[in-house]
Structure 1
């Protein structure tokens, strides 16, 4: 079930559909940058504040030079603008323009409409149970990465040995 869900999410079906249905002149990478710039706390797990190119790169786990190119493209298309930090005038920040803000809102609205349509026949008890469980589940990989995983070492070592001993050598 998780693999099926992961593959669907990996295909970015909702994002592609949103770009197509809203006739947007950007691709998924640029949409990701807009979302990372808008920085909802529930998505990135941090308080939104000033956003720099390095912030976007970190939020999307992409190379800073790639983030910089995408930001420059979006500035050229009128979705983003550069600004001056209120905290440090030497620092350049990235902000959504009205076009960028409206685009983010439209994409989110479309995605929520589709999700809402899917769960519209669920009773309130199902929704009340599902949402907190989904939120809890969505953090599993972050929590797993931060936990001490040494208890798995004996099993991991056995798996390494099995692979080493049972796979034919390439040559």
Structure 2
């Protein structure tokens, strides 16, 4: 997550987003967890404590980016789901990230881009495993 947060921050220079990067982190985490995250999931994904995650989630809910639902399997558990507004904002972020990668690798060969994608994927997987 840290890698993508940094890339998003660097890639967003000169692009006006409606939300701050902390909320993008929350939305990214919910999206990565197939749109059914808990506050605890958010805390782990962002590497923050539970109170900080709760405040970020509350902000995202109040801004209409997340909705809280009772878990169908356990009514005591609350899951967070992305709203259409969040999906629109995430789409804009994904487009910005792709544009940064395209600009950055414009002079690279197809082979170099494929190798970079393979190594970046491996790095993210190994990074996640290392920092757990």
- Normalization by structure 2: what TM-score? 0.81
Larger Rg: 1 or 2? 1
When the two chains are superposed, the root-mean-square deviation of aligned CA atoms in Å is 2.7
Change (3 A) 1:61 1:108: same
Partner of 1:34: 27
Is contact 1:54–1:64 with CA below 8 Å preserved after alignment? yes
Q: What is the deviation of 1:122?
A: 1.6
1:1-171 equivalences under 5 Å are 12=6, 14-15=8-9, 18=12, 21-24=15-18, 26-39=19-32, 48=34, 50-143=36-129
Change (3 A) 1:143 1:67: closer
Change (3 A) 1:144 1:58: closer
Bigger relative contact order, structure 1 or 2 (CA pairs below 8 A, ≥6 apart): 2
Structure 2: give runs of 5+ residues left out of the alignment: none
Structure 1: give runs of 5+ residues left out of the alignment: 1-5, 40-46, 147-171
What is the DSSP-based 3-state SS (H/G/I as helix, E as strand, rest coil) of the residue aligned with 1:66? Answer: helix
Is contact 1:52–1:94 with CA below 8 Å preserved after alignment? yes
